């Protein structure tokens, strides 16, 4: 496998214009992301046709879909064997910097902001998934204990241990967010972590009470309290921290930099965080939660069904445009405010609809004699069932066109059911069957039912609208 990965990365380097055309590289769950000096040197058709490559996405960075696990291994090989920087900010080539700035200017501000958000949260995805799974199993064990199905002290120890692991990340999510935000914005990482820690520290309540900003009867309604503003406040706070730190560092003598810069930076940022950023971002978070409550988790069953269908049906185009990264702060806000995420289970149905569509195309391939597409589907389906949908998107449904639409239409039925059943998740991650442990214990069955509804609906709608000649000529 190592040799196969080495051969694949060598081929990728050749097809993107060689080592000298690569300025930086990184990866997400399923994609190798390469920042190029000259996009015109990329041989896109040959790269797309390379064995092991499931798709190619043209964006600010060249994104090569290779699947889970492999993306990380290929990125490591590229960085180590070709001495490629894992961070574009380390380059000293002025021409390269100029080209990068021009690429950023061509990119919309919205996509740039969403890529920044993505860069903050993608490194935390493994921990988010693990913490959610452990919290899910802890909740399940607690439910079974309450029903006296499990009663031994052994199970109580297991429940507490699982809860400890889950809380070890999600309980301090603000701190991890602060650290990763500092990486993204070019601030000192430890200072970014301190901003996250300040936002959840107990002295916030004492300060709030001192200025009459605390509501003792309903603490969550306080203008200022621990966690007010959530991760929005933390990200904004670290962004401002980065700006202040750079300004202060320029004006402080080198001999005093280690002491003076962090002290002044933290003092100014802390004042802004407590009295401006947290209250304002808290208001924005409350508005967002209130707005979402109108369409998500409504007491009106009809609204639930309609909103669940639409959200699941349009999620695949959002993934295609890269807009899905903007949902991560919404997940986090829901988790903080409601104790669970209701949006994620609904959107997870999009991947299931795609699995159903791919199965329909697979059977049509057998009749039409398209062995190449049949093999692509066979290789991508297991990942799709486990919640990694990009191989199916870029290798099957999107190239064919119509199945990309029918998959979304089928997914909507699963989304409608999941929303109607008020399914909630402890965290977010891959969207397939591996997401079952992320759900609240009493909603796991409904999540699985939703997935199979999306499978069946995606299969039926695709079978109706896709003709044999569409598959034969693919």
Q: 299-352, pLDDT tens digit by residue?
A: 788 888 999 999 999 988 877 666 666 677 788 778 877 788 889 999 999 999
Write down which residue in 73, 92, 107 finishes a domain: 107
Q: What is the pLDDT of residue 144?
A: 81
Residues 305 and 337 in one domain: yes
pTM to 2 decimals? 0.65
Q: What is the pLDDT of residue 244?
A: 96
Domain assignment present for 153: no
CB 29 within 8 A of CB 388: yes
Q: What is the pLDDT of residue 193?
A: 96
59: domain CATH number?
Answer: 3.30.1360.60
Q: For residues 189-210, give the mean pLDDT.
A: 94
Residues 320 and 465 in one domain: yes
C-alpha to C-alpha distance for 282 and 145, rounded to whole angstroms: 37
Confidence grade of residue 44 (pLDDT, cut at 50, 70, 90): confident
DSSP H/E element including 62: strand 62-65
Tokens of 230: 């959530």
Confidence grade of residue 354 (pLDDT, cut at 50, 70, 90): very high
Confidence grade of residue 236 (pLDDT, cut at 50, 70, 90): very high
Of 74 and 88, the one with more pLDDT:
74
Q: What is the pLDDT of residue 335?
A: 81
Q: For residues 398-403, give the mean pLDDT.
A: 84
Does residue 388 carry a pLDDT above 60?
yes
Q: For residues 284-312, give the mean pLDDT.
A: 82
For the chain, the distance separating the N- and C-terminal CA atoms, rounded to the nearest angstrom, is 30
Most confident option among 2-6, 216-220, 269-273: 269-273
Is 365 annotated in the active site?
no
Domain assignment present for 142: no
C-alpha to C-alpha distance for 203 and 226, rounded to whole angstroms: 8
3-state secondary structure 254-288: HHHHHHHHHHHHHHHHHHHHHHHHHHHHHHHHHHH
Residues 357 and 390 in one domain: yes
Of 387 and 249, the one with more pLDDT:
249
- The position carrying tokens 């214009």 is 17
**Backbone torsions φ then ψ of 471, nearest 5 degrees:** -80, -40
Residues 360 and 266 in one domain: no
Domain assignment present for 143: no
Of 387 and 248, the one with more pLDDT:
248
Cβ neighbours, 10 Å, residue 251: 9
Residues 267 and 358 in one domain: no
Average pLDDT of the chain, as a whole number: 84
Q: What is the pLDDT of residue 91?
A: 41
Task: Give the CA-trace dihedral at 113, 117, 119, 121, to 10 degrees.
Answer: -170
Q: For residues 256-281, give the mean pLDDT.
A: 94
Residues 262 and 319 in one domain: no
Domain assignment present for 113: no
pLDDT in tens, 164-195: 998 888 889 899 999 999 999 989 999 999 99
Q: What is the pLDDT of residue 190?
A: 95
Q: What is the pLDDT of residue 322?
A: 60
Residues 321 and 444 in one domain: yes
Domain assignment present for 166: no
Residues 189 and 265 in one domain: yes
Q: What is the pLDDT of residue 358?
A: 93
**Backbone torsions φ then ψ of 32, nearest 5 degrees:** -90, 120
CA triple 282-288-290, angle to 5 deg: 105
Instruction: Return all residues near 291 (Cβ < 8 A) that are at least 6 apart.
Output: none
Give one word for 13, left, alpha or beta, with left for phi > 0 and alpha for psi -120 to 50.
alpha
Q: What is the pLDDT of residue 66?
A: 84
- Which range is least confidently modeled, 10-24, 83-97, 142-156, 267-281? 83-97
Residues 419 and 346 in one domain: yes
Q: Which of 28, 274, 292, 435 is catalytic?
A: 28
Confidence grade of residue 69 (pLDDT, cut at 50, 70, 90): confident
Write down which residue in 233, 260, 292 finishes a domain: 292
Q: For residues 282-289, give the mean pLDDT.
A: 80
Residues 322 and 284 in one domain: no
Q: What is the pLDDT of residue 114?
A: 67
Residue 281 CA: distances (Å) to CA of 135, 175, 236 = 27, 17, 9
CA triple 56-361-472, angle to 5 deg: 85
CB 229 within 8 A of CB 285: yes
Domain assignment present for 152: no
Confidence grade of residue 142 (pLDDT, cut at 50, 70, 90): confident
Domain assignment present for 456: yes
Confidence grade of residue 3 (pLDDT, cut at 50, 70, 90): low
Q: For residues 387-408, give the mean pLDDT.
A: 83
| 3-state SS assignment for residue 150 | coil
Does residue 240 carry a pLDDT above 70?
yes
Residue 32's DSSP bridge partners are: 27, 64
Does residue 267 carry a pLDDT above 60?
yes
Q: For residues 343-369, give the mean pLDDT.
A: 91
Write down which residue in 107, 125, 150 finishes a domain: 107
Does residue 294 carry a pLDDT above 60?
yes
Q: What is the pLDDT of residue 221?
A: 79
Sheet with 22-27, strands from edge to edge, namely 22-27, 31-36, 62-65, 55-58
Residues 232 and 328 in one domain: no
Domain residues for the domain of 305 are: 301-472
Domain assignment present for 129: no
Q: How many helices (H) and strands (E) does the chain have?
A: 23, 4
Most confident option among 1-15, 141-155, 340-354: 340-354
Residue 153 CA: distances (Å) to CA of 117, 145, 159, 167, 451 = 43, 10, 10, 21, 35
How many residues are given for the chain? 474
Instruction: Return all residues near 169 (Cβ < 8 A) that are at least 6 apart.
Output: 127, 128, 130, 131, 176
C-alpha to C-alpha distance for 374 and 382, rounded to whole angstroms: 13
Residue 44 CA: distances (Å) to CA of 22, 99, 350, 376, 415 = 15, 20, 27, 19, 35
Number of structural domains found in the chain: 3
Q: For residues 42-57, give the mean pLDDT.
A: 86
Residues 308 and 433 in one domain: yes
Residue 161 CA: distances (Å) to CA of 137, 155, 156, 157, 434 = 10, 10, 8, 6, 21
What percent of the chain has pLDDT above 70? 91
For strand 31-36 and strand 55-58, is the pairing parallel, antiparallel, or unpaired?
unpaired
Long-range contacts (CB closer than 8 Å, 24 or more residues apart) made by 104-107:
104/60, 107/60
pLDDT in tens, 87-132: 544 344 434 444 444 444 455 566 677 677 777 877 887 888 788 7
What percent of the chain has pLDDT above 90? 35
């Amino acid at each position: 496998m190592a040799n196969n990965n080495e051969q694949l990365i060598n081929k990728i380097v050749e097809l993107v214009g060689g080592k000298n055309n690569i300025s930086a590289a990184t990866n997400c769950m399923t994609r190798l992301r390469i920042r190029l000096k000259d996009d015109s040197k990329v041989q896109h058709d040959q790269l797309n046709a390379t064995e092991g490559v499931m798709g190619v996405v043209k964006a600010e960075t060249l994104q090569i879909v290779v699947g889970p696990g492999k993306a990380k291994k290929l990125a490591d090989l590229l960085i180590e064997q070709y001495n490629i920087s894992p961070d574009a900010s380390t380059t000293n080539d002025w021409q390269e910097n100029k080209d990068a700035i021009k690429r950023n200017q061509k990119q919309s501000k919205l996509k740039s902001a969403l890529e920044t958000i993505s860069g903050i949260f993608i490194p935390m995805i493994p921990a988010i998934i693990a913490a959610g799974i452990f919290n899910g199993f802890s909740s399940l064990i607690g439910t079974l204990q309450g029903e006296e199905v499990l009663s031994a002290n052994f199970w109580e120890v297991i429940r507490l241990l699982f809860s400890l692991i889950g809380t070890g990340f999600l309980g301090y999510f603000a701190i991890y967010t602060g650290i990763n935000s500092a990486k993204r914005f070019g601030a000192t990482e430890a200072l970014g972590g301190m901003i996250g820690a300040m936002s959840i520290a107990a002295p916030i309540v004492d300060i709030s009470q001192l200025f009459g900003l605390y509501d003792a009867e309903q603490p969550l309604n306080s203008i200022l309290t621990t966690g007010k503003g959530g991760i929005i406040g933390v990200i904004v706070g670290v962004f401002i921290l980065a700006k202040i730190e750079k300004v202060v560092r320029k004006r402080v003598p080198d001999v005093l930099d280690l002491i003076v810069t962090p002290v002044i930076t933290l003092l100014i940022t802390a004042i802004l965080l407590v009295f401006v950023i947290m209250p304002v971002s808290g208001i924005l978070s409350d508005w967002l939660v209130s707005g979402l409550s109108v369409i998500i988790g409504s007491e009106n069953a009809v609204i639930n069904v309609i909103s669940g269908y639409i959200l699941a049906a349009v999620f695949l185009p959002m993934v295609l445009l890269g807009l899905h990264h903007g949902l991560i702060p919404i997940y986090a806000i829901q988790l903080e405010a409601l104790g669970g995420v209701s949006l994620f289970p609904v959107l997870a149905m999009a991947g299931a609809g795609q699995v159903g569509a791919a199965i329909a195309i697979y059977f049509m391939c057998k009749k039409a004699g398209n062995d190449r597409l049949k093999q692509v589907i066979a290789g991508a389906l297991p990942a799709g069932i486990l919640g990694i949908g990009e191989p199916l998107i870029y290798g099957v449904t999107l190239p064919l066109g119509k199945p990309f639409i029918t998959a979304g239409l089928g997914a909507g039925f699963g989304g409608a059911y999941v929303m109607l059943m008020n399914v909630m998740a402890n965290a977010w991650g891959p969207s397939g069957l591996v997401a079952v442990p992320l759900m609240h214990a009493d909603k796991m069955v409904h999540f699985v039912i939703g997935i199979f509804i999306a499978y069946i609906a995606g299969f039926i709608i695709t079978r109706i609208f896709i003709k044999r000649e569409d598959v034969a000529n693919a």
